Structure 1
Amino acid sequence: MDVPANGAMVHRRLIDSMYVEAMVLADEARAYFDQGGLAERAMLHPMARVVLSCESLKITTRLMHVIAWLLTQKAIDAGEMSAELADDPLRVLPAGPETEDDALATMPAGTQTLIRASIDLYRRAERMERSRSAPPAASPARAMFERLATRL
C-alpha cells in the first residue's frame, strides 16, 4: 500500500487498536459462553438454546475472520508480507455470517451485546478492506492545477 508516512502510521495504529479490541472481545465471548452466560442459557427454551449456539458460532467466526485479516495487515505493515499477497482470496476478509433481527431479539442481553459488538467490529474491518483496495481520492487542488495546466 503506497501511503504517506503519516497515513502509514495512522493505519498501523488503527490496525493495532482493532487487533487489541478483537482479542479482548474474543476473550469476553469465551468467558461469557464458558461461564457467565450459563444461567441465561439454562432459562431458554430448547430451540432458543440451539439458536444461541448458532449465534455463538457466528460471533466466533466473525472474530476469527477479523483477527486473521488484522494479522495479515500487521504482517504487511511490518514488511513480513507483500501487499500483493494480501489480495490472495485466502487472505481477504470473507463475507461474514449474518444474524437475523428476529434471532437477535430472542437472545439474552449478554449474547445480544456480544453479537452487536462482533458485527460492529466486522463492519469496520470490511470498511478498511474496501478502503485499502479503493483508488485514492483525487486532491481537489491537484485537479484544479491539472485543469489550469491543460489550458495554458
Structure 2
Amino acid sequence: MEARITPRLVDSLYIEAMVLADEARAYFEDHGTEERDALTPALRVGYAVESLKVTTRIMHVIAWLLTRRGLEAGEIDRAAASQPDRRLGEAGLSDPAVLPQLPEGAVGLIEASEDLYARVARLEQDLLSPPEETQARGSPARSLLNRLERAF
C-alpha cells in the first residue's frame, strides 16, 4: 500500500507546496495589500482570517510531506511516522459567504491551498485505510494488478 506514495510524488507535492507558500507570502504581505486596503473593515477581517487559513493549510501539508521524506530517507521509522502528531493537521474550511467578496488573487490562493490540502488528505486517507477498503474504491486496473501480484 505504501508504494502508491512514491518519493517522486512526495517531492512533486513538496515543490508545489513550497511554491504556493511563497506565492501566498508575496501576495498577502506585498502584492495584495492594495486590494486588502480597498475592502470594508469587516471584509478586511475576513481577508485576514482566510490568509491565515491558507498559511495553515500549506504548513500542514509541508509538515506531512517532510514526514514522508524523512521516512523515505530513513531518518524516521514507520512507527514514528504513523504517530498522531505526524498526521496531516486539521485545517479550517473557507467561509463561502466571504470568498465571493474577496479579491481574485486571494480567492485563487485560497482555492489552490484547499485543492493541495484535499489531495494530500486523500493520500493520507489511503495510507490509513485497510487494504480491502482501498481496493474496493480503487480503480479496476489497480485491483487487477493487485490480484496478479498476489497470484505470482
Q: TM-score, normalised by structure 1?
A: 0.84
Map of 1:148 onto structure 2: none
Query: Bigger radius of gyration, 1 or 2?
Result: 1
1:101 CA drift (Å): 1.3
- C-alpha contact 2:2 2:127 (8 A) present in aligned 1: no
Residue 64 (structure 1) shift: 0.5
- Count of residue correspondences: 139
Amino acid in the other structure paired with 1:130: Q
TM-fit CA distance, 1:88? 1.2
Q: Percent identity?
A: 46
For 1:69, give the aligned amino acid.
W
Task: Give the TM-score of the pair, scaled to structure 2.
Answer: 0.84
| Equivalences for residues 31-42 of structure 1 within 5 A | 31-42=26-37
**Offset, 1:42:** 1.1
1:131 equivalent in structure 2: 126
- 2:59 matches 1:64: yes
Name whichever of 83-92 and 40-49 sits farther off: 83-92
- Note the C-alpha offset of 1:83: 1.3
Q: Which residue among 24, 32, 36 is the counterpart of 1:29?
A: 24
Unaligned ranges ≥5, structure 2 = 136-142
Correspondence for 2:139: none
Distance 2:16 2:70 in 1: 18
Residue 142 of structure 1: how far off its partner (Å):
6.9
Instruction: Encode CA deviations 1:86-116: one digit per residue, 9 max, x unaligned.
Output: 2211110122111121111111100000000
In the alignment, structure 1 residue 75 sits paired with structure 2 residue 75: no
Which secondary structure does the structure 2 equivalent of 1:102 belong to? coil
Cα distance in 1 for partners of 2:65, 2:2 equals 18
Structure 2 residue aligned with 1:85, among 80, 85, 109?
A: 80
Q: 1:2 to 1:62 in 2, by over 3 A?
A: closer
SS of structure 2 residue aligned to 1:24: helix
Q: Is the 8 A contact 2:53 2:92 kept in 1?
A: yes
Match in the other structure for 1:46: 41
Q: Distance in 1 between matches of 2:108 and 2:31?
A: 13
Q: In 2, distance between residues paired with 1:117 and 1:57? A: 14
Q: Distance in 2 between matches of 1:26 and 1:55?
A: 14
